[in-house]
Amino acid sequence: MTAWRRDLHAHPELGFEEHRTAAFVAGELRAAGIETVEGLAGTGVVGTLRGTRAGNRAVALRADMDALAMPEMTGAPYASSVPGKMHACGHDGHTAMLLGAAKWLAANRGRFAGTVHFVFQPAEESRGGGQRMVAEGLFERFPADAVYALHNLPGLPLGTIAVPKGPVLASSDTWETLFRGRGTHGAKPHLGSDATLAAAQFIAALHSIIARELDPMGVGVVSVGHMAAGDPEAPNVIPAEVRLRGTARALASGTRDLLERRIGDIARGMAATHGVAVDYAYTRRLGPTVNHPAQAAVMHRAAAATVGAALARDDHPPITAGEDFSAMLEVRPGAYAWLGTGEPAHPEGFHHNPHFDFNDAALPHGAAFLASIVEAELPAEPAR
């Protein structure tokens, strides 16, 4: 698995461009005697394996394959060979672990009764690969009673497996406002209508949603990530338009609805106060990733069987990052777990950092855990 992981790391590919990665995965699956389908969602790969014992249930295990558009600074001998692209979130490790689990299960078909689908997903990083796989009929073509995934987590002790109860990750949406006023010379502001003032007060008021409208025990985030106005070569001109873009995140659907509604209310209110117009758009990108209770329990049992009860946790707090595995959990019951990879070798080597590198010591834990989920979900012997 280490050789696989390092090969994938050296050849990163962005979302929907994972042609080499997909071919590599498909080749390894076929070499293990696993039925393999390529091309779902462009570069997705699905392997199907049936146990030697009769069983009418099926489960899906999912790993993401894509890299990020950023330069690598690890200095590793297997560092990215592609300028401006790197595996900075560990999807190379996820792919290698699912391949490892698939190979082991293929060699031990008598250990489970039923069907396993190994889902290698493209384009998790903000490109909607999970949604596209679902939309293109993933679960119609490969029926599954439950779906599971895991993600590496630097900072969580090596070998620890955390299966949160309920919410795991937040929704991830984008919003945009365009304040439209009447531009004028900076020396004569009374001759215009100031879109910059409306935008500035909108930004200040925006944070009152979290501070004063959201239950203190709830979780929500509203952030401004982009602002564009005027010409830097004309600082004496009040611009006619100010464009803002940002993110909104929530763990609960009610909070998500609140954020969408109130961002627009505040934008329109500030526009009216300052005599300007505003255009507002809110785009729902990813829903929250919320574990289903029964499948979370299966995952926790599998974790305990793999790494021992002391390293199997169910109390990890939610994180406000987003994950398109949520699209699969919206249509099938399932669960998502964190795999501890220990403290990073570089002090800045966390996700989406040029110093990030997956800890290969975690590979056996992850692969064994995935195989254990299958054994727990599709036992070869009936429970007594």
Our CA angle for 24, 30, 34, nearest 5°, is: 125
pTM of the full structure: 0.94
Is 145 within the bounds of a domain? yes
Same domain, 215 and 354: no
The one catalytic residue among 66, 194, 323, 357: 66
Domain containing 85: what range? 2-168+288-377
Same domain, 240 and 259: yes
The one catalytic residue among 124, 194, 241, 324: 124
Same domain, 363 and 304: yes
In this prediction, residue 383 carries a pLDDT of: 55
Same domain, 297 and 279: no
What beta strand segments (E) does the chain contain?
35-40, 44-50, 53-64, 113-121, 146-153, 161-162, 167-169, 172-180, 184-185, 220-229, 237-238, 241-250, 277-286, 289-290, 312-313, 334-340
Is 130 within the bounds of a domain? yes
Is 230 within the bounds of a domain? yes
In this prediction, residue 243 carries a pLDDT of: 99
Same domain, 87 and 22: yes
Q: Are strands 241-250 and 172-180 parallel, antiparallel or unpaired?
A: antiparallel
Same domain, 7 and 147: yes
List the binding residues for Mn(2+): 89, 91, 125, 151, 352
In this prediction, residue 381 carries a pLDDT of: 76
Same domain, 151 and 194: no
Domain termination residue (choose one: 285, 307, 340) = 285
Which CATH number fits the domain that encloses residue 260?
Answer: 3.30.70.360
Catalytic status, residue 124: yes
Same domain, 144 and 269: no
| Closest C-alpha to 306, from 158, 162, 161, 104 | 161
Same domain, 119 and 9: yes
* pLDDT < 70: residue spans in the chain: 382-384
Q: How many domains does the chain have?
A: 2
In this prediction, residue 53 carries a pLDDT of: 87
Same domain, 99 and 231: no
Catalytic status, residue 279: no
Same domain, 153 and 121: yes
Same domain, 60 and 128: yes
